[in-house]
Structure formats: structure tokens, C-alpha cells
Chains A and B, each alone.
Chain A
Amino acid sequence: MDYLYFAIRRLLQAVLVMFVISLIGFSIQDNLGDPLRELVGQSVSESERDALRDRMGLNDPFLTQYGRFMYKAVQGDLGNSYFFKKPALEVIAAKFPATLELVIGASLLIIFFAIPLGVYCAINPKGWFSKFIMGFSIVGISVPVFLTAIFSIYVFSVELGWMPSFGRGETSGILGWQSGFLTVDGLVHLVLPSISLASIMMPLFIRLIRSEMMEILQLDYIRFAWAKGLMPARVWFLHAFKNTLLPVITVGGVQIGTMLAYTILTESVFQWPGMGFLFLEAVNRVDTPLIIAYIIVVGLIFVVTNTVVDLVYTWVNPTVKLVGSK
């Protein structure tokens, strides 16, 4: 019952945050550009404009307009993109697979490299390889994502000519999803962008996993595990790692959102046809409905991932205190 109570509270909070984001989105729409200018030319007279305004409800009170905005928004209608002349949500949805695949590619790299390296550095903190990894990781967090991207293009595309420097390459559609995972060309195009996107998170996670695990290895229950005569592998990978994972999951959930921000940078360098690239174009074209749709979609992704991570964390962790219950 406690968990149910917690889950409901958490979901309500998510709804609240979404409400705030929609409010922000709406006030941007209210302040950014005049929708009339996009619809009618300069030749229309002032009185005709006013009549049109009235008919479109642009003279209604703020709350009425916001209510209308929300009413449409929950039905998936966030207005039409000025540039594409199509529903903004549809335009974004078409770009979503590209961004998601980029995030998946980077996440896989992070999981497969950061966890073993972080654990290794925690177990052998004094070894030369650990020192090398730690040194490398501080260089990693000091190089901005877009520079990793630029340098990788410069080295592997321009100088060596091994890798493509832009775009997604060949994609193939299954179930309406244009995927780059299924063709060799698509996968090759994914390599450099994924590495670039992973480049800042990877050292962050290595350092996080290392410091969390080193702290846990000092604790009494680990010493007790040694005192029981367990095999080192069991002490490290079950007793210590399972406890390390919990804080890492929390940070991971937050970092998914941050990663979305970095996709904008990566997509911009690699001209990756994803949501971030689309957003930058929309900003340059002052395509207000598209900008707002992007903000709302990104806000939704943030809120959903954070909520899910919180719910899963609480479910997985037997000791977590359910805040607010009792």
C-alpha cells in the first residue's frame, strides 16, 4: 500500500511538472510572433485583422486561450509547423527514431565500458591501469561534446577517410520506423555520433561508479562478507556492485535528460536528421509551433524517464524510505 501511495504521489508530481511545462510552452506561443502574420499577408486591413483575431479567439482572456491550447494539446494537436505546413507533432515524430537510435547507441557504449572500467578502478585503485583510466576520464569530462565530435570528424573522416562525416546513411523501415540499426551503412554512420555523445557521460559514469563502489567497499557489511570467506568475485560483483548500482541508477535517470541536450550538439555537428537538429532549424526559422512542440516533447521525455526511474528505484531498493508514507 505504501508503494501505491508513493507511486500516486510521484505521478501527480509528474503531472504537475508537465502542467508547468505546458504553461511555459503556451506563454512562449503567446509572446513569440504573431500567428496572423503567418496566415495572412500584409494587404489585409486592420479591421479585417481584428475580426480575424476575434474569430480565432486571440482576443479571449488568457485562461480561455490556455484552456483551448491544452484541450488541443492533450489530443496531440500542437499546431501546424509554419515551415513544413504539417502538424508539428507529426514532424517531430518523424525525426524521433533518429534521435532515439543515437541515444541507444551512446547508452550501450556507456553501459558496456563505464561499468567494467568503473568497477575495475574501484577494486584496484592503485594500479597503473586505473590511474590511466582516471587520467583519461578527467580529460574526457574536460572536452566538450561538440569538440569530440569535431575532432572525430577531422581525424576519421577528413584525414583518414574511414568514416562518414554526416547523416544517418541508409535506413530501412520496419513497422513505420526508419531504422539505421538494420543496415551496415546505417550502423557505420552511427559510430562516430554515438562515440561523441557518449564521450562526456562515459567518464562521468566511470568516476561515479568508482567512487560509489570504493565507498561501499569500506563498509562493514563488505568486511563481514570477507569475514565469511566468500570468493572475491562474489563480494565485488554481488555484495558491493548491487549496492553501487542503486545510486548509479538515480544519476542515470537524470543523465538521460542531459543526454537529450547533448543530442542537439551531436546532431548539429553530424547533421544528424533528428529532433535536436530539427529544433535548431526551427529556431532559425522562428517556427514557433515546432519550437513549442519540441519543448513539450522533450519535457515529456524528461518527466517520464525521471518518474519511471524513481518508481523503479523505489521498487528495486528494499531499504528506500518511502517519503510521505506514514
Chain B
Amino acid sequence: MSKLRIFLGSDFVYRFKKDKVAVVSFSIVILLVLSAVFAPAIAPYDPYDLKSIDIMDSELPPSWNEEEGDDRFFLGTDPQGRDMLSTILYGMRISLLIGFFAVILQLFIGVSIGLISGYVGGRVDAFFMRLADIQLSLSTLMVAIIALAVFQASFGSELYSELAIFMLILVIGIAEWPQYARTVRASVLAEKHKEYVDAARVIGMSQKRIMLRHILPNTLSPVLVISTIQVANAIISEAALSFLGLGMPVNKPSLGSLISSGFEFIFSGSWWITVIPSLVLIALILSINLLGDWLRDALNPKLYKD
């Protein structure tokens, strides 16, 4: 309890409260995350339940359109007759899920490699850093597109659509470890020769314990800043991949696949199928990015730079 009080009274919280942009973007992120988490409770319909969908309801505009709108569907319906609001909530749930777990995976791989690389040094370090260089020089999105395209072609689209969520997490997760690894490695190198680490070694602490208990906590703030931005990037990547038809299938859409399936309808005037999920996606990414920007300024960690 007292720790919480110390945190709430800290300079960090004071600066947060004074920054309107930070407060607003934080609120939006919380609001969107909560509504995604509680989507099954909030959403008026279950978009996965085929029985509740009536094709006769397809392409209805939002309910504020007085002539054609239907009061049952606040944000209108998509070409299959699904309620847009429900579909968006469930779609955001998937987008956030993929973004979150992909970043957890990046974090795990990157931090492990960074710790090992920095602590062991020598050839191991040289190998991993060279690998990181090469990985960074290839674009993540390109690698992800190619990997998923090949998977899709070899699995067939039906099996693929079932595995899509795992493939997306895996591909986005594996492709972006270098930034974590470099940052963690840099701080390991900086901390490694400090007196307290020597002292810990002298009193006989194991290498593993020194790394986990003493060095790792020092990397907390850069890792937090990177992670915030990376969640936004992972959501963008997921949306892009789904938009290309390499991600989530139409019957279990993320925001990206929702936008993709609605895209052709903007030519016939059914703008809401694409525009509304797009706006939600932008609001989500923008507020995460703004929060990440603020965090970086506030914590001012030493991020890895070339």
C-alpha cells in the first residue's frame, strides 16, 4: 500500500498528470483495451455465431443514418450482415492479443539474447550481433510477408486460417528481437564492470543470479519504452498482413482483415465498413505511440543507437 502511495506521489506521476496528451492517450488506450477484453460482455451480438447473422441485414449503414439505418446496429453491418460494433470489438480483441503476445515473444527472445551476448561476450556476442545486423537490414514486414505467404501456400488456406493467429504471433515475434537485444546488451556492458557487480561476484553469487537480480532491473525503463512502441508496431504489422490476406481470416477477423474485406465497398458508397474499423485502428495505434513518446521523454532511458 505504501509503495503505491510513493508511486502516486512521485515526480513521474506528477509529470504525467500535468501532460494532457499523455493523460488523454492513456485513457483511450485503457478504454480500448478494456472494451476489447470485455468484448463478449459488451458487444450486442456474437459475430462468430453464424446463427445470429442474417444476410438480409447486410450492408446497413450506421443507425444515425435516418433513412436506411437500423436501430439494432449502431455502427451498421458488414456485407455478411454482421453487426459492425460487435465485429470491431472482437476484431480489436484479436489485434491486441496478437500485438501483445508478439511483443512478449520479442521481449523474451531479445532480452535473453541481449543478456547472454553482453555477459558472455566474445564469439557468442559477435555472432548474435552480426545476426541482429542482418535481421535489421532485412525489413520485418518483408520477412513476415514472405514467411506467411510460403506458409499459406504450403498449408493451404483452410488449415492456415486456423493457425493464422499463432503464425502471426510467431512471425512478428521472431522478426523484431534485435532492438531489445541491442539495448539490453548495451546496458549489460555498461553495468558489467561496475563495482556492485564485482562485489556480487566476489561474495559468490552465481552468474545467473547476478544477471537476473542486478543487471536485468537496470534495463527496465528502456525495455518498457521499446515495448510500448513495439506493441503499436506489432498491431500495424498484423493489420498490414491481414489486409494482404496473409493474416486473420474473414470469419474471425482482426481490424486489418475487417478493413480488407470492406475495402471494395467504398466504391459503392458503403464507407462505414472500412472507415470505422480504420478509425478505431488509428486511434489505438496513435494513442499507444503518443504514450510511448511521452514515456521516452519522461524516463529518458539510454536506447541503443548506432
**A32→B149 CA distance, assembly (Å):** 11
The answer to whether B153 touches A153, judged by C-beta atoms less than 8 angstroms apart, is no
Chain B residues within 8 Å of chain A by Cβ, number: 39
Q: A142-B285, A283-B152, A295-B146 are in contact. Are A150 and B137 (CB under 8 A)?
A: no
The answer to whether B306 touches A153, judged by C-beta atoms less than 8 angstroms apart, is no
The answer to whether B282 touches A142, judged by C-beta atoms less than 8 angstroms apart, is yes
Q: A258-B142, A291-B153, A302-B138 are in contact. Are A265 and B243 (CB under 8 A)?
A: yes
Stretch at the interface among B37-45, B187-195, B263-271: B263-271
Query: What residues of chain B lie closer than 8 Å to A182, measured between beta carbons?
Result: none
Q: Which of A257-288 contact B (CB under 8 A)?
A: 257-258, 260-262, 264-265, 268-269, 279-280, 283-284, 286, 288
B240 interface neighbour in A31, A144, A150, A151, Cβ under 8 Å? A144
Minimum C-beta distance from B286 to chain A (A): 4
Minimum C-beta distance from B279 to chain A (A): 9
Interface string of A98-109 (1 = CB under 8 A from B): 000000000000
Q: Which of A68-120 contact B (CB under 8 A)?
A: none
Q: A158-B267, A254-B137 are in contact. Are A32 and B153 (CB under 8 A)?
A: yes
Query: What residues of chain A lie closer than 8 Å to B239, measured between beta carbons?
Result: 144, 146
Answer yes or no: A230 CB below 8 A from chain B CBs: no
Minimum C-beta distance from B141 to chain A (A): 4
Q: Which of B226-269 contact A (CB under 8 A)?
A: 232, 236, 239-240, 243-246, 259, 263, 266-267
Query: What residues of chain B lie closer than 8 Å to A258, measured between beta carbons?
Result: 139-142
Answer yes or no: B278 CB below 8 A from chain A CBs: yes
Answer yes or no: A141 CB below 8 A from chain B CBs: yes
A147 interface neighbour in B138, B149, B281, B289, Cβ under 8 Å? B281
Query: What residues of chain B lie closer than 8 Å to A144, measured between beta carbons?
Result: 236, 239-240, 243, 281, 285
**A264→B246 CA distance, assembly (Å):** 12
**Chain A's interface: helix, strand, loop or mixed, by majority?**
helix
The answer to whether B274 touches A150, judged by C-beta atoms less than 8 angstroms apart, is yes
Query: What residues of chain A lie closer than 8 Å to B243, measured between beta carbons?
Result: 144, 146, 265, 268
The answer to whether B275 touches A264, judged by C-beta atoms less than 8 angstroms apart, is no
Query: What residues of chain A lie closer than 8 Å to B142, measured between beta carbons?
Result: 257-258, 260-261, 298, 302
**A275→B126 CA distance, assembly (Å):** 36
The answer to whether A257 touches B150, judged by C-beta atoms less than 8 angstroms apart, is no
Q: Which of A33-79 contact B (CB under 8 A)?
A: 33
Q: A144-B240, A265-B243 are in contact. Are A150 and B266 (CB under 8 A)?
A: yes
Chain A residues within 8 Å of chain B by Cβ, number: 43
Q: A33-B153, A258-B141, A298-B142 are in contact. Are A264 and B232 (CB under 8 A)?
A: no
**A274→B141 CA distance, assembly (Å):** 18
B244 interface neighbour in A150, A153, A254, A264, Cβ under 8 Å? A264
Answer yes or no: B55 CB below 8 A from chain A CBs: no
Q: A143-B282, A264-B244 are in contact. Are A138 and B153 (CB under 8 A)?
A: no
Query: What residues of chain B lie closer than 8 Å to A158, measured between beta carbons?
Result: 266-267
Answer yes or no: A145 CB below 8 A from chain B CBs: yes
Interface string of A164-199 (1 = CB under 8 A from B): 010000000000000000000000000000000000
Answer yes or no: A28 CB below 8 A from chain B CBs: yes
Query: What residues of chain A lie closer than 8 Å to B275, measured between beta carbons?
Result: 151, 154
The answer to whether A150 touches B278, judged by C-beta atoms less than 8 angstroms apart, is yes
Minimum C-beta distance from B284 to chain A (A): 9
Query: What residues of chain A lie closer than 8 Å to B136, measured between beta carbons?
Result: 254
The answer to whether A280 touches B150, judged by C-beta atoms less than 8 angstroms apart, is no
The answer to whether B282 touches A257, judged by C-beta atoms less than 8 angstroms apart, is no
A288 interface neighbour in B145, B153, B293, Cβ under 8 Å? B153
Interface string of B117-154 (1 = CB under 8 A from A): 00000000000000000101111111001100110111
**A247→B305 CA distance, assembly (Å):** 10
Minimum C-beta distance from A199 to chain B (A): 12
The answer to whether B278 touches A151, judged by C-beta atoms less than 8 angstroms apart, is yes
Closest A residue to B130 using CB positions: A13
Q: Which of A223-276 contact B (CB under 8 A)?
A: 247, 250, 254, 257-258, 260-262, 264-265, 268-269
The answer to whether B153 touches A147, judged by C-beta atoms less than 8 angstroms apart, is no
The answer to whether A261 touches B145, judged by C-beta atoms less than 8 angstroms apart, is yes
Closest B residue to A286 using CB positions: B153
Answer yes or no: A312 CB below 8 A from chain B CBs: no
Interface string of A112-149 (1 = CB under 8 A from B): 00000000000000000000000000110111111100
Answer yes or no: B210 CB below 8 A from chain A CBs: no
The answer to whether A280 touches B244, judged by C-beta atoms less than 8 angstroms apart, is yes
Q: A154-B271, A302-B137 are in contact. Are A147 and B244 (CB under 8 A)?
A: no
The answer to whether A139 touches B244, judged by C-beta atoms less than 8 angstroms apart, is no
A141 interface neighbour in B145, B259, B289, Cβ under 8 Å? B289
The answer to whether A150 touches B263, judged by C-beta atoms less than 8 angstroms apart, is yes
Binding site for B on A (CB under 8 A): 17, 28, 31-33, 138-139, 141-147, 150-151, 153-154, 158, 165, 247, 250, 254, 257-258, 260-262, 264-265, 268-269, 279-280, 283-284, 286, 288, 291, 295, 298, 302, 306
Inter-chain pairs besides A139-B286, A261-B140, A261-B145, 18 sampled, C-beta below 8 Å? A17-B134, A32-B153, A142-B285, A150-B263, A151-B278, A153-B266, A158-B266, A257-B138, A257-B142, A258-B140, A265-B243, A265-B244, A280-B149, A283-B246, A288-B153, A291-B149, A291-B150, A302-B139
Binding site for A on B (CB under 8 A): 134, 136-142, 145-146, 149-150, 152-154, 232, 236, 239-240, 243-246, 259, 263, 266-267, 271, 274-275, 278, 281-282, 285-286, 289-290, 293, 306
**A-B pairs with beta carbons under 8 Å apart, 20 shown:** A17-B134, A138-B290, A144-B285, A146-B239, A147-B259, A150-B263, A150-B266, A150-B278, A154-B274, A158-B267, A247-B306, A254-B137, A258-B139, A258-B141, A265-B240, A283-B149, A286-B153, A291-B149, A302-B137, A302-B138
